[in-house]
Amino acid sequence: MTRYPGRSTGIGERPPLPNVLPVPASLGTPITEPTAVALRQVVFGQCPSMIRSEFFSRGPGMVFREAEQQLAYGLTFIGGDMTPMARSVLMIVQAQILKTLLFETDPARILKSRRDPLEPTMTIQKEALVAAVSEIIWRAGSGQGILCLPSKSLIHVPESPQFNHDGVTEKLQLVPFAKWDELVTVLRRYIYIFQEEPGPAVLLLLYSAVLSRGLDRVNEDLMGRAANFSGLTHRSHLVNFKGSISNSVLCLLMTGRATQFLHNGIQYRGDEDNASIAETGLLIRSPLGLLLWMGNEEKTQATNLGSRLKTPIFPIWLVICCDQSGLLFCLDRALMRDYRNEYNFQLHYYTSSHFQTGDTILNVCTRGFDETEPEIPLSTLDKIIRTKWSGARINWNGIVPYL
């Protein structure tokens, strides 16, 4: 049986959400039918369309483990159905939460305390979640944002041949922001909506990022060329009906651009018989990292993952193994500042699974070990780590590898 580390689940019975006020009709502007149709088309590919409730009103919430306990920094998910795409989105939010807890230096953006940053109080959990969601939206909007919040009872878009109800989109209030502090203030007031489980948290975050980036620009990211959304007949989109993990969703939420390509810069694909096609990947170094394993080395190398995702600004990596998602992170930001810090270091591994009941801390050694010493069979996570640190030796510190 797989052994997970730790002394307790740190989950227990979830506290009820506080008494809250519904989103007022005066906040922002009601969504219109053209915007609702365009949103559904760029996110899901078509509208009207079949509705999967787990994509809309019955998705996972952004719910923390028990405060002031081991793994209190972590979002968790218990029971029900969650698509691989939704889990990867939650892990990106988790990465942003860790960035805030571990490396935020602006006291106006997160409450500080003398506690271990990995065992935050309920107040700090909430503030970290607000900062995480705000930063994803703000980055997508390049210094501005549009927050999507659903009305409790008002329906702004009636059903028509162009649009069918999904339980969320037709109720949206679109709230624009030109100032960071105003976004944080409003989101703090309505963060409970993102914590409802089941609820629309994943969809609201994705919709907010898309509208903040702009429908035309997101479609340009997807198509790899300039686009006028209203005039296109052939479009790509962000989420497929199966809910598989999407490179474009990952890049939109992590970097602010919805590119499907993971390489550095612009690469050209073509041959003697066909004109070269420009494929735009990562134009700048990502604040958060990405590491992949697609089942074997050949498929993993075919993703063409570039150094701007492998070597992020902050030492936090989203880990994708086929349809599974987790996080690797280091407590020392200097890991990304000096290559000598990469000789011997520690990485924490976290998943949203309630089966993980304690810290998983890996010792990673990239040089100075006895190369004549026989290697033990590599776990999948070992292989993922080696895509960044080739030949590294990983010590699980007595834990039976569970990925």
Beta bridge partners of 360: 349
* Cβ neighbours of 81 (radius 10 Å): 13
For residue 395, the model assigns a pLDDT of 92
| DSSP secondary structure of 273-286 | TEEEEEEE-BSS--
Q: How far apart are the first and last CA of the chain?
A: 13
Residues 41-66, mean pLDDT to the nearest whole number: 92
Asked whether the predicted pLDDT for residue 367 surpasses 70, the reply is: yes
How many CA atoms lie less than 13 Å away from 392 in the CB half-sphere? 25
Q: Compute φ and ψ for 145, nearest 5 degrees.
A: -160, 160
Those residues with Cβ within 8 angstroms of residue 382's Cβ, 6 or more apart along the chain or in another chain: 394, 401
Going by pLDDT thresholds of 50, 70 and 90, the confidence category of residue 368 is low
CA angle 313, 319, 322 (to 5 degrees): 145
Q: Cis omega (within 30 of 0) on the bond before 176?
A: no
State yes or no: pLDDT of 21 exceeds 70: yes
Q: What percent of the chain has pLDDT over 70?
A: 85
* Bridge pairing between strands 360-365 and 145-150: unpaired
User: Band of the pLDDT at 35, cuts 50, 70, 90?
Assistant: very high
pLDDT at 9 (0 to 100) = 35
pLDDT of 105 higher than 70: no
Contact 91, 144 (CB under 8 A): no
Alpha-carbon distance of 328 to 387, in angstroms, equals: 13
| Mean pLDDT score of the chain | 87
Q: Poorest-confidence range of 2-6, 274-278, 321-325?
A: 2-6
What is the distance between the alpha carbons of residues 258 and 42, in angstroms, rounded to a whole number?
11
Average pLDDT (371-397) is 86
pTM of the model: 0.89
Instruction: Work out the pLDDT band at 114, boundaries 50, 70, 90.
Output: low
Predicted pLDDT of residue 279: 87
Q: Is 259 helix (H, G, I), strand (E, B) or coil?
A: coil
